[in-house]
Structure 1
């Protein structure tokens, strides 16, 4: 199995892609590229059995409806306050992740991550042109991931390792990652992971993609499926990291969450 992790940014300079090859005895990072452009990202996704994308795959339905109503000058709710704005800014999956993990995904409607989602929208269109239609619910090759939530679920450090000023924390995270996953071989790319949080997040995204490929992640409930179809769905692992090697592909799907 080949899983790919993409730590997507608005520009290639801050985008990393990791290729993770799985065997019966371990997982090996076979390639890791920083400063990844659109063509490389598209080719990586097309080659993967499962690809974890660290980026919102869609916008909140209520936000889209709001934009359409505002453009047409239609009446908006009177006395709309903080809770109304929260519902505009957050997707269903964002609220589920917050409830499950305590982590708050950035709002694609109200934060700068919207620029990243715009880039992804173009990539998704290109993938469709090449025959790989993206199912935003995660049931196809592509699944939306959130490395911080995956790390927190796995009991690993999940904050404080971003940016060059925090290289010591990044190195501690790499050390911590090896303890539950001695079967993970970073090989020649370990130094890159110790120097670039983008690179390490791409590896975590590829690990989460493995969990998704084994059906060991959260999935939308029946009532959430329609929102997930348009807004996207963040897959959170439901198994310890150490167990990713002990499950075979196509295992039983855990109970639905949310």
Structure 2
């Protein structure tokens, strides 16, 4: 099995792709890392993988889309008896974002009200190209692509999940890589170890590829029946439900 992780930013300069090869029993080998990944490289990586994890919202909240549509037409209706902050919550956060918060205590960035929306605009173009090439994406996580959230994965696996991104001092990122390799001695970063220690984008791409493996093995959260409809349009963050070692033990 080959899994791919994509740490997707609005621009290529902050985007990284990682390839993990799981063909050796009980091992996973990092066989490629690309920084500065453009749309074409991402599409090729996804189409060549058994499963790809993308660290980016795959859609917007349904209620936000309805709100913007109503606002354009000039007939927004505000629910009576509901505080403004409560009403806006469902506009700002998707069903999956609220599930992630309930399960992990982490709050994903709002694709409606934060700069992450720029990355999702780019992601929409990537998903459209994948569909054009005959690989349509099920935003619930079935099929070729699953939405992932590296910080929540790391927290669930008992690893450092804060303080390693965009830091001038790379020591925290290095400690994260050390802890990851201690927790997963079967993971071989090979010649790409230095770039993982120098770039949090690369490390997040590796974590995304690990999460893609968990999804491929069915070791992640899936939408409940009442959440499936929203997940199909908004996207669904698949959270690993087992320790890291199950990624090789179950393969």
Q: TM-score scaled by structure 1?
A: 0.95
Superimposed CA distance per residue, residues 42-69 of structure 1 (whole angstroms, 9 cap, x where no aligned partner): 0000001000000000000000000000
Task: State the SS of the aligned residue for 1:179.
Answer: helix
Q: Secondary structure at the match of 1:70?
A: helix
Q: TM-score, normalised by structure 2?
A: 0.97
Residues 174-230 of structure 1: CA deviation (Å, up to 9, x unaligned): 000011210100000000000000000000000000000000000000110000000
In the alignment, does 2:14 pair up with 1:14?
A: yes
State the Cα RMSD in Å. Answer: 0.9
| 2:107 counterpart of 1:104 | yes
How many Å apart are 1:242 and its aligned residue?
1.9
CA distance in 1: counterparts of 2:5 and 2:201, whole angstroms:
11
Matched pairs, number: 248
8 Å Cα contact 2:149/2:208 also seen in 1:
yes
Instruction: Out of 67-76 and 196-205, give the one that drifted further.
Output: 67-76
**Which residue does the alignment assign to 1:31?**
32
* Residue aligned with 1:19, SS: strand
Moved over 6 A (4+): none
2:67–2:76 contact (8 Å) kept in structure 1 = no
* 2:159 aligned partner: 156
Distance 1:155 1:78, change over 3 A: closer
Listed as ranges, the gaps of 5+ residues in structure 2 are: none
| 1:177 equivalenced with 2:170 (yes/no) | no
Q: Distance in 2 between matches of 1:230 and 1:11?
A: 24
Q: CA offset at residue 166 of structure 1?
A: 3.4
Q: Deviations over 1:59-89 (max 9, x none)?
A: 0000000000000001421665000011110
Structure 1 distance, partners of 2:234, 2:6, is 19
Report if aligned partners of 1:21, 1:29 keep a CA contact under 8 Å in 2.
yes
Within 5 Å, give how 1:75-224 maps onto structure 2.
Answer: 75-77=76-78, 81-224=84-227
| Partner SS, residue 183 of structure 2 | coil
Q: 1:255: which partner in 2?
A: none
Q: Which residue of 2 aligns with 1:74?
A: 75
